[in-house]
């Protein structure tokens, strides 16, 4: 990565953390994670529950000590530094608002414990509340607010100390879908306006893809892939990422060449034409996204791959139509064809055979192991 | 309409309790209040004449003709309040850290500790206090141990002092402070403590600004539960305080059982009740309301 010395806000090196499992044994929450977070970026830690993303967040905020490895914030090693001395603030999953304090009391908390003068305090609380759209709510108690409003108070409270890094632990998971989507945009705007770094934890891939500059996909305490959202979708580097992000059919097998073009032979007997990039003998995984598939025309060009399937179900989804088809090996594959494809599909009845086509160059190939020699 | 049904439900649920309290609580209470304004009979019992000098003996307007004002009653009264209050402070200081520690244990250990704390209730109070007599008396376990270790040369004269009363009182009242405190500390949302720390509050600031306010209802409940029985207690001062550390409870007991001056005993009891009543009102207005508001 570029500008490693000056722009890095937080850095995690070889972080390892194990917990005793309730039923005996140990759970490895962090299994040697290294990560660098750059200035003024929106970074998301994405992964299924139990992948270690919250543990990583808590290791940065100081609530969890690492078994080994180190955390640096603003270049400084923070091992053993308690949370209240770390220049980061957190928006907690359940908001953790102080029930006995008013909205302004909650927001002012960080300033008051730091001994900021009352007038300065009032001014900054006013500013922060304005920024999150809660001006005029200062005298309410948290219990008198809706979930979305509580969320905003938690946000205002966390940004008032002007942290170098704002940590957000699944803050939107308790909100309903519409509110969640508008909060996603607001969070993104807030991050842009403040110019501080957001480290956002979620298990929701849509949330991660919508908001982030960088997405870090975690699985079983390890980093699977780091990069911009598009890269995760179009060029997943591992099978896990390909399955976790977006829909698509995955095929694993060996590349063989029967004629002139490479073909993927799966173990259960499918033959799937692939594009260049894989050599004969490589073990690969191919990901075909639904929007890459269309109904095959009469005349098939050489640059196209063909799959023979049986239509199972057509699903109307508003803007698009989705066709669930069955392959020869019994597995399903989904197609979201173009308008012309839809036209052709509408004449196919469930149970009838149909030919799907895709550009050989489009589906992404993960090369698991190269052919020796 | 739900209102009517609700009312019927309320009446059905409250009737047995109301009848019980009406007969067995308000009845004796009224008798006591009425007696406190009656003239003591010559050989016990009462004469049915209105008589305010029972209070005069305590508060200072008895003229010395029929009844004598003696400041010793007020003194005993204030001593009782002082001991009860000190006991609240002692039990609070012991139980608060203990409750924090227990609430941090694994669940099955917590249940076990709470069981251990309520264990003394299985043994008679008088027996337990006699054990304290055995421990505290000059030839008791405490003094023989300390002398055996060479830490002291003379036995500490602790039994039949206010200190002994406080030790015994704190001992019997500990569970009453611990249980409500523990309930409110266990309920305390740990994420609030983390949020406070995250926002830069040092541990003492987190304690004062978050933990203490959040557990105030538990502290108040514990304080009331300890203060009230401590104030009226007569067993502990009787056994551990001897004749020197009389408390208001002993006085009441003496008036009823030895002096056979029921009206005066009743007047003393009414005085205790007034103090408690004021405290309860204060509690309900200050703490109870914020608890309800949650």
CA–CA separation, A302 and A256 (whole Å): 17
Enumerate residues 6+ apart whose C-beta is below 8 A from A19. Answer: A26, A27, A29
Q: Which of A82, A96, A161 is nearest residue B195 as measured by Cβ atoms? A: A96
- Interface membership of B290 toward A (CB under 8 Å): yes
What residues of B are in contact with residue A62 (Cβ under 8 Å)? 197
Give the closest-approach CA distance of B213 to chain A in angstroms: 7
Q: What percent of chain A has pLDDT over 70?
A: 97
User: CATH class for domain A4-243?
Assistant: alpha beta
Distances, alpha carbon A104 to alpha carbons A130, A139, A145, B215, in Å: 12, 7, 13, 22
What residues of A are in contact with residue B196 (Cβ under 8 Å)? 98, 109, 113
Task: Take residue A202 and report the two structure tokens written for it.
Answer: 């979620």
Banded pLDDT at A4 (limits 50, 70, 90): very low
Q: B200–A157: do the CB atoms touch at under 8 Å?
A: no
- Interface membership of B199 toward A (CB under 8 Å): yes
Domains in chain B, CATH or no CATH each:
1-35 (no CATH), 76-293 (1.10.3720.10)
Enumerate residues 6+ apart whose C-beta is below 8 A from A238. Answer: A224, A225, A366
CA–CA separation, B187 and B86 (whole Å): 27
What residues of B are in contact with residue A84 (Cβ under 8 Å)? 197-203, 206
pLDDT tens for residues B204-222?
Answer: 999 999 999 999 989 999 9
Q: Where are the domains of chain A?
A: 4-243, 247-369
Q: Which residues of B, range 98-117, sit inside 8 Å of A by Cβ?
A: none
- Interface membership of B289 toward A (CB under 8 Å): no
With respect to CATH, is domain A247-369 assigned 3.40.50.970? no
Give the closest-approach CA distance of B159 to chain A in angstroms: 45
Q: What percent of chain A has pLDDT over 90?
A: 57
CA–CA separation, B202 and A83 (whole Å): 9
Q: In this structure, are strands A214-219 and A197-202 parallel, antiparallel, or unpaired?
A: unpaired
Chain CA centroid to CA B125, Å: 15
Q: Return the ∠ at Cα A195 (arms to A189 and A199), rounded to 5°.
A: 80
- Interface membership of B91 toward A (CB under 8 Å): no
Task: Take residue A225 and report the two structure tokens written for it.
Answer: 């892939």
* φ, ψ of residue A69 in degrees (nearest 5): 95, 175
- Interface membership of B292 toward A (CB under 8 Å): no
- The reply to whether ipTM tops 0.85 is no
Dihedral sign for Cα A89, A94, A95, A100, please. negative
Nearest CA in chain A to B214: A100
What residues of B are in contact with residue A114 (Cβ under 8 Å)? 200
- Interface membership of B200 toward A (CB under 8 Å): yes
Q: A100–B290: do the CB atoms touch at under 8 Å?
A: yes
Instruction: Please state, as a whole number, how many other Cβ atoms lie within 10 Å of the Cβ of residue B70.
Output: 13
> What is the per-residue DSSP string for B185-199?
HHHS-HHHHHHHHHT
> What is the per-residue DSSP string for A143-200?
GGS-HHHHHHHHHHHHHTT--SEEEEESTTTTS-HHHHHHHHHHHHHHHHHH--EEEE
Outline where chain B has alpha helix (H): 2-21, 27-35, 53-59, 71-103, 107-118, 125-136, 141-148, 162-187, 190-198, 203-206, 212-232, 235-236, 248-257, 262-283, 289-293
Per-residue confidence of chain B (294 residues) as pLDDT tens digits? 557 788 888 888 999 999 999 899 999 999 999 999 998 888 878 889 898 888 988 888 877 777 788 888 889 999 999 999 999 999 999 999 999 999 989 889 999 999 998 888 888 999 999 999 999 998 889 999 999 998 888 888 888 999 999 999 999 999 999 999 999 999 999 999 999 999 999 999 999 999 999 999 899 999 999 999 999 898 999 999 887 888 999 999 999 988 889 999 999 999 989 988 888 888 888 766 655 444
CA–CA separation, B154 and B37 (whole Å): 51
DSSP-derived secondary structure letter, B105: S
Question: In which residue are the tokens 């995760």 written?
Answer: A232
Q: What Rg, from alpha-carbon coordinates, does chain B have?
A: 24
Distances, alpha carbon A373 to alpha carbons A134, A254, A279, A282, in Å: 65, 15, 11, 11
What residues of B are in contact with residue A170 (Cβ under 8 Å)? none
Closest by CA to B85, choosing from B173, B217, B183, is B173
Q: Which residues of B, range 136-195, sit inside 8 Å of A by Cβ?
A: 189, 191-192, 194-195
pLDDT tens for residues B157-206?
Answer: 888 999 999 999 999 999 999 999 999 999 999 999 999 999 999 999 99
Whether residue A322 contacts residue A290, with contact meaning beta carbons closer than 8 Å, is answered with: yes
Question: In which residue are the tokens 């102080």 written?
Answer: A98
Q: Chain A interface residues facing chain B, Cβ-Cβ under 8 Å?
A: 61-63, 82-85, 88-90, 92, 94, 96-100, 109-110, 113-114, 141, 143, 157-158, 161
Q: In this structure, are strands A304-316 and A364-369 parallel, antiparallel, or unpaired?
A: unpaired
Closest by CA to A289, choosing from A257, A245, A249, is A249
CA–CA separation, A17 and A11 (whole Å): 16
Say what the pTM is. 0.80
> What is the per-residue DSSP string for A53-94?
HHHHHHHHHTSS--SEEEEEETTEE-TT--GGGSSEEEE-TT
């Amino acid at each position: 990565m570029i500008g490693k010395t000056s722009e890095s806000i937080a850095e995690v090196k070889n972080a390892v953390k194990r917990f005793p499992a309730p039923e005996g044994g140990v759970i490895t929450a962090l299994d040697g994670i290294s990560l660098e977070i750059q200035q003024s970026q929106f970074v998301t830690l994405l992964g299924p529950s139990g992948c270690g993303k919250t543990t990583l967040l808590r290791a940065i905020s100081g609530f969890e000590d690492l078994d080994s490895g180190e955390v640096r914030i603003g270049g400084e090693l923070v091992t053993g530094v308690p949370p209240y001395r770390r220049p980061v603030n957190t928006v907690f999953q359940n908001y953790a608002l102080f029930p006995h304090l008013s909205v302004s009391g909650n927001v002012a908390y960080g300033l008051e414990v730091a001994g900021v003068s009352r007038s300065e305090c009032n001014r900054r609380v006013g500013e922060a509340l304005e920024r999150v759209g809660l001006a005029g709510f200062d005298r309410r108690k948290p219990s008198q607010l809706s979930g979305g409003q509580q969320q905003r108070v938690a946000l205002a409270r966390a940004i008032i100390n002007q942290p170098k890094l704002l940590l957000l632990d699944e803050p939107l998971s308790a909100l309903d879908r519409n509110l969640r989507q508008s909060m996603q945009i607001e969070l993104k705007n807030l991050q842009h306006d403040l110019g501080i770094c957001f480290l956002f934890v979620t298990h929701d891939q849509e949330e991660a893809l919508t908001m982030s500059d960088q997405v870090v996909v975690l699985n079983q305490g390890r980093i699977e892939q780091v990069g911009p959202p598009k890269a995760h979708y179009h060029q997943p580097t591992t099978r896990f990422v390909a399955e976790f992000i977006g829909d698509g059919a995955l095929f694993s097998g060996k590349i063989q060449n029967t004629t002139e073009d490479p073909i993927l032979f799966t173990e259960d007997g499918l033959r799937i034409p692939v594009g260049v990039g894989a050599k004969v003998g490589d073990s690969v995984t191919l990901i075909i996204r639904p929007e890459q598939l269309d109904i095959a025309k009469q005349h098939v060009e050489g640059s196209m791959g063909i799959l023979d399937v049986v239509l199972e179900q057509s699903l109307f989804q508003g803007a698009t139509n989705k066709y669930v088809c069955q392959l020869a090996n019994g597995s399903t594959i989904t197609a979201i064809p173009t308008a012309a494809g839809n036209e052709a599909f509408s004449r196919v009845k469930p149970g009838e055979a149909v030919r799907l086509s895709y550009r050989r160059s489009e589906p992404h190939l993960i090369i698991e192991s190269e052919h020796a020699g | 309409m739900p209102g009517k049904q609700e009312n019927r439900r309320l009446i059905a649920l409250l009737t047995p309790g109301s009848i019980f309290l009406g007969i067995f609580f308000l009845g004796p209470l009224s008798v006591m209040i009425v007696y406190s304004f009656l003239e003591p009979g010559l050989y016990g019992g009462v004469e049915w004449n209105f008589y305010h000098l029972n209070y005069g003996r305590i508060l200072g307007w008895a003229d010395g003709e029929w009844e004598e004002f003696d400041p010793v009653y007020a003194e005993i009264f204030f001593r009782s309040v002082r001991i009860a209050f000190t006991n609240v402070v002692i039990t609070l200081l012991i139980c608060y850290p203990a409750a924090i520690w227990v609430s941090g244990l694994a669940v099955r250990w917590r249940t076990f500790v709470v069981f251990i704390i309520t264990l003394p209730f299985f043994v008679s109070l008088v027996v337990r206090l006699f054990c304290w007599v055995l421990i505290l008396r000059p030839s008791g376990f405490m003094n023989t141990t300390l002398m055996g270790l060479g830490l002291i040369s003379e036995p500490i004269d602790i039994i039949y002092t206010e200190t002994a009363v406080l030790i015994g009182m704190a001992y019997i009242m500990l569970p009453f402070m611990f249980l409500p405190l523990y309930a409110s500390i266990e309920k305390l949302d740990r994420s609030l403590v983390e949020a406070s720390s995250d926002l830069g509050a040092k541990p003492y600031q987190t304690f004062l600004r978050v933990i203490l306010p959040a557990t105030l209802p538990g502290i108040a409940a514990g304080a009331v539960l300890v203060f009230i029985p401590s104030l009226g207690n007569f067993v502990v001062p009787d056994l551990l305080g001897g004749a020197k550390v009389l408390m208001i409870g002993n006085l009441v007991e003496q008036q009823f059982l030895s002096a056979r001056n029921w009206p005066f005993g009743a007047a003393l009891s009414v005085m205790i009740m007034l103090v408690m009543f004021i405290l309860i009102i204060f509690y309900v207005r200050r703490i109870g309301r914020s608890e309800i508001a949650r």
